[in-house]
Amino acid sequence: MASATMSKSKTKTKVTPLGNKILVRRDEAQTMTDSGIVLPESAKDRPRTGVIEAVGTGAINTETGERIPVELKKGERVIFSSYAGTEIKLGSDELMIMGEDEILAVID
């Protein structure tokens, strides 16, 4: 089980996802187009990619009681669906908590 430690003012907050949940740091929005046009804040698309900061221990199989481990690992770059997860803010850090099933692919 991995957890992420975020700085919040002078104290540190530790976030550990539960079950099959994953903590993701969304990639920064593109500030300029490929042709060099600067994008205003309202025109920026929210990236659907990010890096996994922490993973839960996995879901529990209700029939056998055994834990099903999460397939993803901390540090992997992933693609997730447009409306995935819940955005949270810890100090100046903006992160997302989502279920493992909301991850569409791992970027190599």
Q: How confident is the model at residue 12 (pLDDT cuts 50, 70, 90)?
A: low
Q: Is the pLDDT of residue 10 over 60?
A: no
Q: Taking residues 29-53, what's their average pLDDT?
A: 74
How is domain 14-107 classified at the CATH fold level?
10 Kd Chaperonin, Protein Cpn10; Chain O (2.30.33)
pLDDT band at 28 (very low <50, low <70, confident <90, very high): confident
Task: Dump pLDDT digits (tens) for 62-95.
Answer: 999 999 999 999 999 999 998 899 999 988 888 9
Using alpha carbons, list the distances in angstroms from residue 80 to 2, 36, 66, 107. Answer: 20, 27, 27, 11
